[in-house]
C-alpha cells in the first residue's frame, strides 16, 4: 500500500560504461549519475526480480533525501529485516481477514455510491479531484475508523500539505517546501495520536475480538511487545505508521481509477465489453437477492483485465530504489557494493519485446498473458518480493467496485485531456467529464457511449 515512486526524468541523464562482466551502455542495465551519485538503472525484468527478491541481505531501500528527511529513518520505506517482515505480515493478515473483507466491501460500495450520485448532480466533474476525496475517505476509515466529518476534513488538509514535500529540494529552512511539510506532519501526528490514545484502552479490553482497523492491529502488536521493542514511544510509533499508510490515498488508487476512466473513454469497444460483463453480474445478483461479496467482484475477469492494463500503462509506481550491501552479479552484470539500483518497472511494462503494441490500451492481452511463465516478473505495479504491496487485492477490489457501479448505473462523456508523467502521473486538466444516470437492463453497444 505504499507508493515507491520515482520520476521518468531520471532516465534523461547521460550515462557511460561501467567496468563489469558486460558493457552497460547499450544494454538493459546501465550506469548513470544523478546529482553526483552513481546509479545503476535496470530495465531488465529478470534483473529487477533478483533486486526485489533479495531484499534485506543483499539490497536495502535507498531513496532520495527529501523522502528520508520527511518520513524519517524508521519509516515503512526504510525499515529492514525482522521488523519490516513482521509489520508486513501483520498488515497483510489483517487485509486478508474474512471479517475485514466483508466490512470493507460494504464500506467501499457505500462510498462509491454516494460519490457517483453526487457526480450525476454536477454539470462537470473533475474525476482526479473527486476520486481523491473518495479514496482518502475509504483509506482513513480502514486505518482509523474515522467517518466523514470535520475531523476527516482537517486531516485531509494537513495531509495534502504534508505530501507536497515527498519530491522537493531537501532544505529545512523556514519557508521551504520541506519545512512546511515537516510542520504539517507534526500536526498530522498530533491528530492521529489523539485517536490512537483514545483507542489504547478499548483495544486492551477487546483483545479477543477481530481487529476493526490498522490502529487496532498495530496497538495489539505494541501491547504484545512485538516489533516495537526499540521504540521508546510506542504510541508515537503507531501514529507515525498510520500517517505513512495514508500516502497511497493521495496518489496510487485515485490515479489508477482516474486513468481507467480515461482509457475507457477513449476505447468504446473495451467499455462495451466491460458493461456487458458487469451487467450480467448485476442481473444475477438481482435475481438471487444476495449481496455482492469480495469474490464476486474479483471474479469479473474482463474487469480485472481492464485494471491490469490500466496499471501497466499508468506506471504510477515507476520503479524502486535499492542499495547493494555487497558486490552482486546478476545475469553477467556487476553491481558494486554501495551503489544504488533503480529497478525500472515502466521500462518493462512498455517493452515491445514483452508486450505487443505496448502503448495501446488492450485489456484482451491479459487473456493471452495469464498463465505465461514470466508474467509475474514482467508485471510489477505493486512491487515484489518481501515488500510486495500488502494491499494489492484490496486495491483491485476498490477499483472493481468503482468501475462496476460507474458502468452499470451511469454513462459519461469526457472532455479532451492528456496524461502528465512528471513529477507524478496525473491528468493535465484533472479529467473533466459529464455524468448521466441511466437505467440499464441489458449490455450496451459500442455506439451507446
Is the dihedral angle over the CA atoms 377, 383, 385, 388 positive or is it negative? negative
SS (H, E, C) the chain: CCCCCCCHHHHHCCCCCCCCCCCCCCCCEEEEEECCEEEEEECCHHHHHHHHHCECCCEEECCCHHHHHHHCCCCCCCCCCHHHHHHHHHHHHHHHCHHHHHHHHHHHHHHHHHHHHHHHCCCCEEHHHHHHHHHHHHHHHHHHCCCCCHHHHHHHHHHHHHHCCCCCCCCCCCCCHHHHHHHHHHHHHHHHHHHHHHHHHHHHHCCCCCCCCHHHHHHHHHHCCCCCCCCCCHHHHHHHHHHHHCHHHCCHHHHHHHHHHHHHHCCHHHHHHHHHHHHHHHHHHHHHCCCCCHHHHHCCHHHHHHHHHHHHHHCCCCEEEEEECCCEEECCEEECCCCEEEEEHHHHHCCCCCCCCCCCCCCCHHHHHCCCCCHHHHCCCCCCHHHCCCCHHHHHHHHHHHHHHHHHHEEEEECCCCEECCCCCEECCCCEEEEEECCCCCCCCHHHC
Contact 330, 323 (CB under 8 A): no
Grid cell for residue 275: 458493461
Contact 435, 116 (CB under 8 A): yes
Q: Is 340 part of any known ligand binding site?
A: no
* Short-list 102, 116, 3, 103, CA closest to 403: 116
Which residues define the annotated binding site? Answer: 389
Could you list the residues known to form a binding site for heme, using ranges.
389
Amino acid at each position: 500500500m505504499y507508493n515507491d515512486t520515482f520520476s521518468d526524468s531520471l532516465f534523461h541523464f547521460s550515462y557511460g560504461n561501467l567496468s563489469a562482466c558486460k558493457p552497460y551502455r547499450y544494454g538493459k542495465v546501465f550506469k548513470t549519475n544523478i546529482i553526483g551519485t552513481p546509479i545503476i538503472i535496470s530495465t531488465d525484468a529478470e534483473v529487477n526480480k533478483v533486486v526485489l527478491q533479495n531484499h534485506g541481505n543483499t539490497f536495502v531501500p535507498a531513496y532520495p533525501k527529501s523522502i528520508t528527511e520527511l518520513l524519517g529513518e524508521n519509516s515503512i520505506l526504510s525499515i529492514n529485516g525482522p521488523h519490516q517482515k513482521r509489520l508486513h505480515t501483520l498488515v497483510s493478515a489483517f487485509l486478508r481477514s474474512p471479517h475485514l473483507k466483508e466490512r470493507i466491501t460494504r464500506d467501499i460500495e457505500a462510498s462509491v455510491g454516494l460519490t457517483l450520485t453526487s457526480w450525476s448532480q454536477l454539470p462537470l466533474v473533475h474525476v482526479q479531484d473527486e476520486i481523491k476525496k473518495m479514496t482518502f475517505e475509504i483509506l482513513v476509515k480502514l486505518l482509523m475508523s474515522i467517518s466523514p466529518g470535520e475531523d476527516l476534513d482537517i486531516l485531509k488538509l494537513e495531509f495534502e500539505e504534508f505530501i507536497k514535500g515527498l519530491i522537493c529540494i531537501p532544505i529545512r529552512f523556514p519557508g521551504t517546501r520541506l519545512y512546511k511539510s515537516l510542520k504539517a506532519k507534526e500536526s498530522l501526528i498530533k491528530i492521529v495520536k489523539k485517536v490512537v490514545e483514545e483507542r489504547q484502552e478499548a483495544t486492551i479490553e477487546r483483545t479477543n475480538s477481530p481487529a476493526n482497523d490498522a490502529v487496532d492491529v498495530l496497538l495489539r502488536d505494541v501491547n504484545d511487545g512485538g516489533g516495537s521493542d526499540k521504540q521508546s514511544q510506542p504510541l508515537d510509533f503507531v501514529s507515525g505508521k498510520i500517517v505513512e499508510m495514508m500516502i497511497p490515498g493521495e496518489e496510487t488508487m485515485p490515479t489508477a481509477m482516474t486513468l481507467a476512466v480515461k482509457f475507457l473513454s477513449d476505447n468504446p469497444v473495451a467499455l462495451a465489453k466491460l458493461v456487458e460483463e458487469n451487467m450480467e453480474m448485476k442481473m444475477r445478483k438481482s435475481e438471487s437477492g444476495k449481496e455482492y461479496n469480495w469474490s464476486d467482484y474479483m471474479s469479473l475477469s474482463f474487469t480485472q483485465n481492464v485494471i491490469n492494463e490500466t496499471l501497466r500503462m499508468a506506471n504510477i509506481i515507476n520503479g524502486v530504489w535499492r542499495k547493494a550491501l555487497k558486490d552482486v552479479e546478476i545475469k553477467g552484470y556487476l553491481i558494486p557494493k554501495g551503489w544504488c539500483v533503480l529497478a525500472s518497472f515502466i521500462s518493462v511494462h512498455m517493452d515491445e519485446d514483452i508486450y505487443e503494441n505496448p502503448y495501446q490500451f488492450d485489456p484482451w492481452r491479459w487473456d493471452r498473458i495469464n498463465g505465461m511463465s514470466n508474467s509475474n516478473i514482467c508485471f510489477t505495479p505493486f512491487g515484489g518480493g518481501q515488500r510486495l504491496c500488502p494491499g494489492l487485492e484490496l486495491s483491485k477490489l476498490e477499483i472493481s467496485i468503482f468501475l462496476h457501479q460507474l458502468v452499470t448505473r451511469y454513462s459519461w462523456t469526457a472532455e479532451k485531456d492528456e496524461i502528465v508523467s512528471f513529477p507524478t502521473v496525473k491528468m493535465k486538466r484533472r479529467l473533466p467529464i459529464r455524468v448521466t444516470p441511466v437505467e440499464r437492463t441489458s449490455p450496451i453497444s459500442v455506439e451507446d457511449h
